[in-house]
Amino acid sequence: MKAQSYSVQDLFKFYGNMLLIRRFEEKCAQLYRKGVIGGFCHLYIGQEAVAAGMREVTSPDNDSIITTYRDHAHMLMCGIDPKVIMAELAGKITGCSKGKGGSMHMFSRQRRFYGGHGIVGASSSIGTGVAFSHQYKKDDGVCFCYFGDGATNQGQVYESFNMASMWKLPIVYIIENNFYAMGTSVNRSHANIDLYRRGEPFNVPGKAVDGMKIQEVIAAGCEAASHARSGKGPVILEMRTYRYLGHSMSDPATYRTKEEVEQVKSTRDPIEHVKNTIAKKQGLKESEIKDIESKVSNIVEGAADFALNSPTPQEKVLYEDVLI
Ligand SMILES: Cc1ncc(C[n+]2csc(CCOP(=O)(O)OP(=O)(O)O)c2C)c(N)n1
Ligand SMILES: [Mg+2]
């Protein structure tokens, strides 16, 4: 997709994709509170423009994706059936990891989605390996490798940058800077808060992007992807975004004020931003928005019903698909 200007049809598509992420995550929160979803569960609400924007940049035929435990949105944007994602969250046999991975450990080899990783920083080095495999196989693929601001203080990230730069690997490192790592703000933990510059010692170019504006995500993503795909090596994109909810479902988020969150919600919301862009471009009919809302709601309700009505795995499944 070309970055510069978008038709109203494109903007409606972006709106629908971001709304799908938000409503899916809201449903997860609901099912978690009911005890249908267990374990750890990290939601993506507020960050939608990053996953939905990068979807427009990623080639479904040969690119690969890897991310952290905050992974539902990336799975959805890879085109994986929401039913299968929700079933995984509920620990059902119909889930993408047969109910054994849960929220943090989702995979789809078919879609080249390589997780879902619970270890902070792990996606950077595994993703670098995935990029090496693209180069080795000469398959023209790029690895889109996501991790958080907190992960940028982990050593393995820098070993990965060095190796990727030395070997000119086709990889785009996407730092999803939501300004908090659990309860620690970037200001309290990073000696230099310009995270896009973290590749400088390794000659890895970087760019800061307004990650709340999908158009800017796509523009930067296109540029980075063509750099990596043309053999010039890795690129870093620091997507400046924000998470509205706590770190995980068990975080009351007392380390920041309600006013701070409200300020972002009311002035920078990524979904409202697209809605306003459509309204400015051609006016907006309430019926058009309602139409998308109802389509999205049907998908999410369908996913929840499927998950609730699927069987739990039998005990013997514990020993399948594992190296022992
Ligand atoms: C190596 C390691 N250290 C600590 C943790 C505990 N932990 C889980 S998430 C997290 C914060 C990471 O924050 P960030 O990278 O900004 O990602 P975000 O959750 O904001 O998406 C920490 C410290 C972990 N999972 N792995
Ligand atoms: Mg963070």
pLDDT tens digits, one per residue of 295-319 = 999 999 999 999 999 999 999 998 9
The predicted pLDDT at position 284 comes to 84
Average pLDDT, the chain: 96
What are the structure tokens assigned to 148, written together?
């958080």
For 203-235, the DSSP string reads: T--EEEEETT-HHHHHHHHHHHHHHHHTTS--E
**CB of 296 shorter than 6 A to ligand 1:** no
- Specify the residue with its C-alpha closest to ligand 1, atom 17: 148
| Cα separation, 280 vs 60, whole angstroms | 32
Helices (H) and strands (E) in the chain, counts: 11, 7
Give the residue from 260, 311, 316 showing the smallest Cα distance to 91: 311
- 219 pLDDT exceeds 90? yes
- 2 pLDDT exceeds 70? no
- pLDDT higher for 323 or 19? 19
- 97 pLDDT exceeds 70? yes
Q: What residues are neighbours of ligand 2 (ion), with CB under 5 Å?
A: 148-149, 178, 181
Tokens 């670098």 -> residue: 128
**CB of 150 shorter than 6 A to ligand 1:** yes
129-to-7, 150, 164 alpha-carbon distances in Å: 37, 21, 9
- Specify the residue with its C-alpha closest to ligand 1, atom 8: 120
Distance 83 CA to ligand 2 centre (A): 27
| Cα separation, 43 vs 134, whole angstroms | 30
**Residue 63 burial by CB count (10 A; 0-12/13-18/19+): exposed, middle or buried?**
buried
**CB of 182 shorter than 6 A to ligand 1:** yes
> Binning pLDDT at 50, 70 and 90, where does residue 169 land?
very high
Asked whether the CA dihedral 129, 135, 140, 142 is positive or negative, the reply is positive
Can you tell me the mean pLDDT for 68-96?
Answer: 98
The predicted pLDDT at position 4 comes to 59
Distance 128 CA to ligand 1 centre (A): 19
- 1 pLDDT exceeds 80? no
Q: Which atom of ligand 1 sits closest to the CA of residue 70? A: 21
Fold topology of 8-305: Rossmann fold (3.40.50)
- Specify the residue with its C-alpha closest to ligand 1, atom 25: 119
The predicted pLDDT at position 79 comes to 96
**Residue 184 burial by CB count (10 A; 0-12/13-18/19+): exposed, middle or buried?**
middle
Can you tell me the mean pLDDT for 144-153?
Answer: 98
- Specify the residue with its C-alpha closest to ligand 1, atom 5: 120
Q: Which ligand is closest in space to the CA of residue 117? A: 1
Q: Which residues pair with 143 in a beta bridge?
A: 64, 171
Output DSSP code: residue 43. -
Q: Which ligand is closest in space to the CA of residue 119? A: 1
Give the residue from 176, 163, 104 showing the smallest Cα distance to 129: 163
**CB of 120 shorter than 6 A to ligand 1:** yes
Phi-psi region of 253 (alpha: psi -120 to 50; beta: other; left: phi over 0): left
What are the structure tokens assigned to 221, written together?
């993503």
Strand ranges of the sheet holding 206-210, from the earlier edge strand across to the other edge:
64-66, 143-148, 171-177, 235-240, 206-210
| Cα separation, 77 vs 212, whole angstroms | 17
- 324 pLDDT exceeds 90? no
**CB of 175 shorter than 6 A to ligand 1:** no
For 102-133, the DSSP string reads: TTT---BTTTTB-----STTHHHHHHHHHHHH
- 3 pLDDT exceeds 60? no
Tokens 């943090």 -> residue: 104
The predicted pLDDT at position 322 comes to 86
> Binning pLDDT at 50, 70 and 90, where does residue 285 land?
confident
